[in-house]
Structure 1
Amino acid sequence: MTADLGYPFSEAVRVGNILFLSGQVGILPDNTIIEGGVLAETRQIMENIKTVLGANGLGMEHIAKCTVMLDDMSQWGAVNEVYAEYFPGPKPARSAFGADGLALGAAVEIECIAHVPS
């Protein structure tokens, strides 16, 4: 597990050789959403994911599956633009869907499942 942010869920939970990451939004250390729109939010999310993985001894290459939630599906291309930068090699499986009312008023939320090598 990683940091306790005061929410009623864990940032990540390991079960066997799988690490489940909670949905990440573009949150800054002061618990506010980064300004700058969907591109800035997506980049912050991906950096947050890297941080959570790193705290668990993993990297982006260990991600097997991501789920992307967007408050506006017309932003799918913009999210993909930033998302792709973080997966230069083989891409993880992924689902994406529109969602109304994401946490903290976020435009994007991404959750991931990672493989923990033996």
Structure 2
Amino acid sequence: MSRTIIATDNAPKAIGPYSQAVQVGNTIYTSGQIPLDPSTGEMIGGDITAQARRVFENLRAVIEAAGASFDDVARVGIYLTDLGNFAAVNAVMAEYFREPYPARSTIGVASLPRGAQVEVDLVLVRG
């Protein structure tokens, strides 16, 4: 099965040797997004709510570049440096998803690239 690389200038460029997303068949795998401003490549300021919104906006840009939407998301992976931010990230996630919700894992981690408080990746299935 062939792979299609998904890329857009509306989301931050990869900061390592990876693609923003890869489609294999009907499945799209996004790389993790942290709260980088796509126009500058720099971390945004603000609290966990602002950071989570930036992450989901970055993900929206990537999945729209693939011709998909949040309705196609089957799984969400969330990585938090402070699990005390769980409720705040839930509130932001609820702005982007509607029932029936995708499956999800939320994992506490010691640190994330560039000092981010949150990182999110997605698996989408189309058709």
TM-score by length of 2: 0.87
Match of 1:65, SS state, is strand
The alpha-carbon deviation at position 9 of structure 1 amounts to: 0.5
Query: How far apart in 1 are the matches of 2:109 and 2:15?
Result: 24
* Distance change >3 Å, CA 6–CA 87, structure 1 → 2: closer
**Aligned position for 2:18:** 9
Query: How many angstroms does 1:101 deviate by?
Result: 1.6
Q: What are the equivalent positions in structure 2 for 1:11-30 lying under 5 Å apart?
A: 11-29=20-38, 30=40
Q: Does 1:31 align with 2:35?
A: no
Tell me whether 1:97 sits opposite 2:103 in the alignment. no
Aligned amino acid, residue 84 of structure 1: A
Counterparts of 1:16 and 1:88 in 2: how far apart (Å)?
A: 25
Between 107-116 and 84-93, the greater mean CA deviation after superposition: 84-93
Q: Mind listing any 5+ residue stretches in structure 2 that lack a counterpart?
A: 1-5
| TM-score, with structure 1 as normaliser | 0.94
- Where does the alignment leave 5 or more consecutive residues of structure 1 unmatched? none
Three-state SS of the structure 2 residue aligned to 1:43 is: helix
CA distance in 2, matches of 1:90, 1:53: 19
Instruction: Tell me the number of residue pairs that the alignment of Structure 1 and Structure 2 aligns.
Output: 117
Matched residues, percent identical?
36
Structure 1 residues 55-100: Cα deviation after superposition (integer angstroms, max 9, x where no partner): 0000110000001000000010111011111112321100001011
For residues 9 and 114 of structure 1, the distance between their equivalents in structure 2, rounded to whole angstroms, comes to 18
Matches within 5 A, 1:1-118: 1-3=6-8, 5=14, 7-29=16-38, 30-117=40-127
> What is the CA–CA distance in structure 2 between the aligned matches of 1:7 and 1:95, rounded to whole Å?
24
What secondary structure is seen at the aligned counterpart in 2 of 1:23?
coil
Task: Please give the per-residue CA displacement for 1:37-69, whole angstroms capped at 9, x wherever unaligned.
Answer: 110010011111110000000011000000100
